[in-house]
Amino acid sequence: MSKITRRDFVNGSATLIATSVLSSAQTPAFGSEEKPTYPPSLTGLRGSHPGANTYAHRRAWNADFDAGAIHDTGEDYDLVVVGAGLSGLAAAYSYRRQFGPRAKILILDNHDDFGGHAKRNEHLINGKKIISYGGSQTLVEPRLAAPAIRTLFEDVGVDLCRFDTAFDKGFYKKHGLGATTYFNAEHFGQDRVVQHPFCNYYNYIVGLQGAAISNEEAVAQTPLGERGQAQLLKVLQGGLHSLNVPPETRSDYIKSHNYFDYLTGTLGVDDPQVLRMARNSAIDWSSASAELLTIEQAMKSGALGFAPVTSYNDEQPYVHHFPDGNAGVARALVKYLIPDIAEGNTAESLVTAHFDYRELDQADRPTRVRLNSTVVDVHHNGDVDSADTVSIRYVRDGTAHEVTAAHVVMACYNMMIPHIVADLPERQATALGQQLKSPLVYTTLGLKNWKAFKEAGIGLAMSPGNMHQTLFMDFPVSLGGYRYTSAPDQPCIIQMISCPYSEEWGKPRNEQYREARYQMLGRQFADYESEVRQHLSGMLPPKYFDFDRDVASITVNRWAHGYTVAGPGSSVRLGRVPHGRITIANSDSAPAADAIAAMEMGLRAVEELSA
């Protein structure tokens, strides 16, 4: 493993002790000529990288939190945006568009890169830069988006029609790559790949082939025992017709009855390995372990036991994907706000463009993006109804700073807002605190070649026994001078997705999230590397794959607070009510784990400032 690129291998827990050291090492002074670290090229532990949430956690966990002496920057803005994700960037775009390019805007973010979950990952393999994404993946049905979003795309240079040809829909078929299942020896007794996904999860990947063999043949090839195989086949042959419910009440029934009760009660499944397959068959489509889902939720999430259906139709295919995922949109928005950051006038031309991060925070620019800056306090200067300004305090390099603004958009995690905006009405603060985030890990793996995937016929592998419950070859997109791999002897990116759950089945969703989050952040890079090694080495033919020889780099994007999960009742609507000169954005306020929804919330928040 000596050749694997492993920068930023600090354990998340250890970083709590040394945040100020880490931050000062990576962050140049405002407007400095010092060459900053280029975040997309960092590998190791990324996403919410070590140190990113240190001060946010201290603020949330300690009612007596004291940021120390406040350094008054003397900076005053028309708008301060808290959060440089897609929602925050869209809010800044909307404000600039409404009030002109000279409007003074500051965007603050606790991470070392902009984009939030829209995270760009770059891997350098044999001297070639390979681009991928570490979070927000694809624009979903963007041609049906609201007019304001389509105008945003036009303004920042996103040509939606370009994806019709950029995405190679025939790639998987051409190379004989399909949806498979990998059973690992640790949980299933032996390593085995079966050319069948046993679920509908894979169907969102355009062109990816489904089961190559029949249900009966696939079940016979699994390493399950005779009883387990019989139960698995019964699940595959089941479906809504198996319910002893009148057709006229079936719709209401599946909305209110549990998926695992259907498996265990209606179908009589008690084999733990079959239930493990079911539990890990919906993963990030459901944002929960499957035993918590209703039958309807499980069916819509593509879980085990329902007939395969296409996730998106031919008119609105799931192809609006930049090589770096929705980071391509984030970069286009930043280019719109700060024109000198890169060369290029369209989102396509920015795919391979160099972004000069020194341009993000220059004193002579009307719009500035200040990274590694955790906002810990936002308050009106005076009575909420009559104040003319808002003060914003943030911690950067271990020092607390203060700026003022006429308006503030809180485009951060909604659950953090009550800890930051202390004078919120109690009812609103409670509502915001009820919003949840599911933990998520997107690991991108730089491979020197994909001969083993070609030989095994693996385009995607459901992996119910592994930490990463699925992996697949990255989307085949060539755009803006960037060319996707075209032959097995070329380097490529493998995407691995983990939706961590509690080890104890049946725990409430929020408890599972909390336990999984704790375990996620407690792992060091070596733990993830070891799991990836075992996963690939057990799954791929050894004649064509050697981990130390073929793996060039690993980037583990840990999102302790990943997908939006709405709170109960009207809590979302209650939580996003404007508060004086402060409005609330982020996908949490939609609520939807969706890039377009996040941007819509940014536009809405600016409209509310003007109301």
Q: Report the CATH number that the domain containing residue 251 is assigned in CATH.
A: 3.90.660
Structural domain contains residue 41 = no
Distance CA 240, CA 231 (A): 17
Whether residue 177 is found in the same domain as residue 299: yes
Whether residue 475 is found in the same domain as residue 559: yes
Structural domain contains residue 49 = no
List, for residues 350-395, the tens digit of each pLDDT value.
Answer: 999 999 999 999 999 999 999 999 999 999 999 999 999 999 999 9
Average pLDDT over residues 161-189: 97
SS3 call for 70: strand
**CA-wise closest residue to 115 among 28, 49, 29:** 49
Residue 27, CA atoms < 13 Å, CB-side half-sphere: 26
Whether residue 476 is found in the same domain as residue 534: yes
What value does the mean pLDDT of the chain take? 92
pLDDT > 60? residue 35: no
Whether residue 92 is found in the same domain as residue 196: no
Whether residue 212 is found in the same domain as residue 291: yes
Whether residue 176 is found in the same domain as residue 294: yes
Query: pTM (2 decimals)?
Result: 0.93
Whether residue 328 is found in the same domain as residue 417: yes
Average pLDDT over residues 265-271: 96
Average pLDDT over residues 82-96: 98
pLDDT > 50? residue 15: no
Q: How confident is the model at residue 503 (pLDDT cuts 50, 70, 90)?
A: confident
Structural domain contains residue 19 = no
Residue 266, CA atoms < 13 Å, CB-side half-sphere: 21
Residue 503 burial (C-beta neighbours within 10 Å; 0-12, 13-18, 19+): exposed
Whether residue 490 is found in the same domain as residue 545: yes
Which position has the higher pLDDT, 241 or 89? 89
Distance CA 323, CA 351 (A): 7
Structural domain contains residue 480 = yes
Measured at the CA of 202, the angle between CA 197 and CA 203, to 5 degrees, comes to 120
Torsion 416-419-425-427 (CA) sign:
positive
What residues pair up with 377 in beta bridges, in sequence order? Answer: 393
Structural domain contains residue 543 = yes
SS3 call for 18: coil
581: CATH: 3.50.50.60
- Number of domains making up the chain: 2
Residue 570 has φ and ψ, to the nearest 5°, of -95, 20
- Do residues 358 and 35 touch, judged by C-beta distance below 8 A? yes
Q: To the nearest 5 percent, what fractions of the chain are helix, strand and coil?
A: 35, 20, 40
Q: Identify the domain containing residue 216 by its residue range.
A: 168-312+437-565
Q: How confident is the model at residue 284 (pLDDT cuts 50, 70, 90)?
A: confident
411-429 exposure pattern, b = at least 16 Cβ within 10 A, e = fewer: bbbbbbbbbbbeebeeebb
Whether residue 187 is found in the same domain as residue 300: yes
Helical (H) or strand (E) element with 33: none
Structural domain contains residue 522 = yes
454: its two tokens = 């070609």
List, for residues 410-435, the tens digit of each pLDDT value.
Answer: 999 999 999 999 899 999 999 999 99
Residue 527 burial (C-beta neighbours within 10 Å; 0-12, 13-18, 19+): middle
- Do residues 355 and 337 touch, judged by C-beta distance below 8 A? no
Measured at the CA of 466, the angle between CA 464 and CA 468, to 5 degrees, comes to 95
- pLDDT value, residue 36: 55
Structural domain contains residue 64 = no
Distance CA 479, CA 324 (A): 10
- pLDDT value, residue 14: 34
SS3 call for 324: coil
Residue 39, CA atoms < 13 Å, CB-side half-sphere: 27
Structural domain contains residue 1 = no
Average pLDDT over residues 234-257: 92
Q: Which residues contact 473 (CB under 8 A, 6 or more apart)?
A: 172, 177, 450, 453, 458, 459, 460, 492, 493, 494, 495
pLDDT > 70? residue 31: no
* 3-class DSSP string for 370-394: ECCCEEEEEEECCCCCCCCCEEEEE
Q: How confident is the model at residue 37 (pLDDT cuts 50, 70, 90)?
A: confident
Give the Å distances, CA to CA, from 430 to 96, 418, 433, 571. Answer: 32, 8, 5, 8
pLDDT > 50? residue 12: no
pLDDT > 80? residue 34: no
List, for residues 540-575, the tens digit of each pLDDT value.
Answer: 999 999 999 999 999 999 999 999 999 999 999 999
List, for residues 92-122, the tens digit of each pLDDT value.
Answer: 999 999 999 999 999 999 999 999 999 999 9
- Do residues 587 and 601 touch, judged by C-beta distance below 8 A? yes
- Do residues 136 and 326 touch, judged by C-beta distance below 8 A? yes
pLDDT > 50? residue 8: no
Beta strands (DSSP E) in 83-119 are 105-108
Whether residue 86 is found in the same domain as residue 134: yes
List, for residues 106-165, the tens digit of each pLDDT value.
Answer: 999 999 999 999 999 999 999 999 999 999 999 999 999 999 999 999 999 999 999 999
The secondary structure of residue 406, as a DSSP letter, is: E
Whether residue 299 is found in the same domain as residue 441: yes
Whether residue 120 is found in the same domain as residue 183: no
Average pLDDT over residues 18-38: 43
- pLDDT value, residue 24: 31
Average pLDDT over residues 194-212: 94
pLDDT > 90? residue 63: no
141-154 exposure pattern, b = at least 16 Cβ within 10 A, e = fewer: ebeebeeebeebbe
Average pLDDT over residues 598-607: 98
Q: How confident is the model at residue 7 (pLDDT cuts 50, 70, 90)?
A: very low
Which position has the higher pLDDT, 18 or 539? 539
Terminal Cα-to-Cα distance of the chain (whole angstroms): 58
